[in-house]
Structure formats: structure tokens, C-alpha cells
């Protein structure tokens, strides 16, 4: 794995961990939407080898599932 991919992966993980603290004042549905989008983005990136379109598509699908699933 190249050094840039390692750094980018570490930055994504750090950003995800820091963003979890922002969920404290959110509603249950908003929190589930954000979590679903984050998980979907990671899943889309993994499944497509880091493709931008795959990451964005995964985030969109995950966000929708998180939003609808919390109703």
C-alpha cells in the first residue's frame, strides 16, 4: 500500500471519530442518517477500490437507509 493511501486512510478514520462527537445534539433520525451515510461511504469506497462515485453512491444509499430505518 502506498504511503499516500495510508495517510488518506488515517485521515478518514480520524475525521470519522471526530465527527461522532457532533452527533450529541442531533435527533435520533438525524444521527442514524449521518451514521448510515458514513458507513455507506466506507462500504462504497471499499467495494469500488476507492472510486469517488462509489464512495458518494454508498454515502447516499447509507444515508437513505439510516433515515428510513429510524422512522
Which pLDDT score is estimated for 65? 93
| pTM, full prediction | 0.66
Per-residue confidence band for 52, with pLDDT thresholds at 50, 70 and 90:
confident
Write out the residue range of the structural domain in which residue 24 sits.
3-69
Structural domains counted in the chain: 1
Per-residue confidence band for 20, with pLDDT thresholds at 50, 70 and 90:
low
Mean pLDDT of 19-39: 80
What's the CA gap between 35 and 8, in Å, rounded?
Answer: 20
Which phi and psi (to 5°) does residue 64 adopt? Answer: -65, -45
The three grid cell numbers given for residue 60, joined into one nine-digit string: 447516499
Mean pLDDT across the chain: 81
Residue range 30-49, pLDDT digits in tens: 888 888 888 888 888 888 88
Amino acid at each position: 500500500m502506498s504511503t499516500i493511501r495510508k495517510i488518506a486512510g488515517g485521515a478518514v478514520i480520524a475525521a470519522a471519530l471526530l465527527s461522532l462527537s457532533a452527533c450529541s445534539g442531533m435527533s435520533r433520525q438525524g444521527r442514524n442518517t449521518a451514521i448510515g451515510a458514513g458507513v455507506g461511504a466506507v462500504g462504497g469506497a471499499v467495494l469500488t477500490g476507492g472510486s469517488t462515485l462509489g464512495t458518494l453512491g454508498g454515502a447516499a444509499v447509507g444515508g437513505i437507509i439510516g433515515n428510513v430505518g429510524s422512522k
